[in-house]
Amino acid sequence: MSSFNQKFKDAIYEQFARIGKAVSAPKRLELLDVLCQGPRTVEALSEHAALSVANASQHLQVLRAARLVEAEKKGLHVEYRLADDEVCRFFHSLRSLAEARLAEVKHVTHAYLRERGAMEAVQSSELLRRVRAGEVTVLDVRPLEEYRAGHIPGALSVPLAKLKKRIAGLPKKRDIVAYCRGPYCVMSIEAVEVLRKKGFRAYRMEQAVVDWRARGWRLEKSEETPA
């Protein structure tokens, strides 16, 4: 191979490597996961990722330099969003690859669930069928902003922080399915624990907005505050 051709290949793979470098930090992957739910301010992202605002901003700048996210000034705040839907599909594919190739992913998850005495999520095709058919009450326990940006059709917005106040209004004769940001989001685990202690038949669903979108299924958006 000529040196000219090799230089071309080296230059191309160097650009590909920019993406790998940008997502090489665990916290940056967590930030992408949150941004898959919808645009958020730096302050909100720092809170969700347990980072200082300064550290969150630094991580976001790296993602922005790799053209994975975009930023927009809104009043006194800077709001970040994914550059496009392809970034979320990339994150979903990366997560799926890790789940398929790294046994440690399952081990870490099982260890966490055992330690807190939580139940495994229910992933049966029958559960998904019932959710899509509207045969169960589906709760979206993410923050309201994420629900508005996109949610599973028919889901009720009941943020985890408000669940105890709204629990009396939930139907006890119907099964309840709670979801949040995906298989490694703990908000739905906590929601199911609260519901079961109150006598509800509640289940946790791992599939969330990112998974719904990856399957090509329809999502709903809402600009109004749910009742």
Q: Is the pLDDT score of 180 beyond 50?
A: yes
Segment 206-213 mean pLDDT: 90
Span 16-29, average pLDDT = 97
Q: Are strands 69-74 and 40-41 parallel, antiparallel or unpaired?
A: unpaired
Among 36, 88, 180, 185, the one annotated catalytic? 180
Point out the least confidently predicted range of 1-10, 36-45, 115-124, 190-199. 115-124
Average pLDDT, the chain: 91
For residue 123, is pLDDT > 70?
Answer: no
pLDDT of residue 118: 66
CATH class of 102-214: alpha beta
Q: What is the mean pLDDT of residues 179-201?
A: 93
Residue 106's contacts (CB-CB under 8 Å, 6 or more residues apart) are 99
For the chain, the straight-line distance linking the first and the last C-alpha, in angstroms and rounded, comes to: 66
Confidence category of residue 121, pLDDT binned at 50, 70, 90: low
**DSSP per residue over 77-129, as a string?**
EEEEEESSHHHHHHHHHHHHHHHHH-HHHHHHHHHHHHHHTPPPPP--HHHHH
pLDDT confidence tier of residue 4, bands split at 50, 70 and 90: confident
Quickly count: other Cβ atoms within 10 Å of residue 132's Cβ. Answer: 16
- Which residue intervals of the chain bear CATH 3.40.250.10? 102-214
Mean pLDDT, range 183-206, rounded to an integer: 92
What mean pLDDT do residues 173-184 have?
Answer: 93
**Does the structure show a pLDDT above 80 at 1?**
no
Residue 225: pLDDT above 80? Answer: no
pLDDT of residue 56: 97
Say if residue 157's pLDDT is above 90. yes
| Residues in Cβ contact with 52 at an 8 Å cutoff, skipping those fewer than 6 apart | 46
The pLDDT value recorded for residue 226 is 47
Structure tokens at 17: 């490597």
Q: Decide if 180 is catalytic.
A: yes
Instruction: Determine the average pLDDT of the residues in 90-118.
Output: 90
Residues of the chain with CATH 1.10.10.10: 3-87
Residues 52-93 have pLDDT tens digits of 999 999 999 999 999 999 999 988 899 999 999 999 999 999
Sheet holding 77-82, edge to edge: 40-41, 77-82, 69-74
pLDDT at 148: 93
Question: What local confidence, expressed as pLDDT, does residue 113 receive?
Answer: 82
Its pTM stands at 0.86
Average pLDDT over residues 88-100: 95
227: pLDDT strictly greater than 50: no
Residues 6+ apart with CB under 8 A from 100: none
Q: Report pLDDT for 38.
A: 93
Domain 3-87: CATH class, spelled out: mainly alpha
